[in-house]
A = this chain, B = another copy of it.
Amino acid sequence: MSDPGHGGESLLFLTDEQLRKGIEAMFFAYRGFTADPDRILENLDYGRAHHRAMHFIHRSPGTTVNNLLNILGVTKQSLNRVLRTLIDDGLVESRIGKVDKRERHLFLTERGAELERQLSDAQRARMRAAYRAAGPQAVQGFRTVLESMMDPELKRQYLTLKEGGA
């Protein structure tokens, strides 16, 4: 309610019907959101989990396994399976930490970066089209609502990623 001068009328957007529409919009939109990368991945031997790992490694090069674990919200066994295939296939490089040698710092290799680019290009293209169709103000609202929907802990992580560089 950025505009407080509308009386009771401004609460119409909180009806169960409006909320249900929002829920279904999330459901259908998420399908579109993942459709393009999924199409690329199904030819290769990778899945959505590989895409997510590569995305965040690209985003924060040198991130540790534990870091990635927290961001992705899966168990280390689950992540490890994905990570191992990426490392074995030469898409990700794991370097032993210099200050703390127990840690592994993750980087995309040349080939890894190329696949990541291919995937995120596809995803960004759809995002760009949606943003363009909706306009800047809608995009602002889109992000505001999404941020409000996040769990506090996840939101914290999202905001940290948002600012903090590599």
Given contacts A133-B148, A142-B142, contact A124 B29 (CB under 8 A): no
Q: How many copies does the complex hold?
A: 2
A145 within 8 A of B: yes
Alpha-carbon gap, A147 to B142, bound state (A): 11
Closest residue on chain B to residue A152 by CB atoms: B32
Given contacts A24-B161, A144-B134, contact A127 B149 (CB under 8 A): yes
B22 A127 Cβ-Cβ under 8 A: yes
A158 B13 Cβ-Cβ under 8 A: no
A154 within 8 A of B: yes
Q: Which residues of B contact A55 (CB under 8 A)?
A: 23
Given contacts A141-B138, A142-B22, contact A28 B124 (CB under 8 A): no
Alpha-carbon gap, A25 to B155, bound state (A): 9
Alpha-carbon gap, A126 to B14, bound state (A): 11
B25 A154 Cβ-Cβ under 8 A: no
Q: Give A61 Cβ to nearest chain B Cβ, in Å.
A: 14
Query: Which single member of B23, B30, B139 contacts A141 (CB below 8 Å)?
Result: B139
Given contacts A130-B148, A136-B1, contact A143 B25 (CB under 8 A): yes
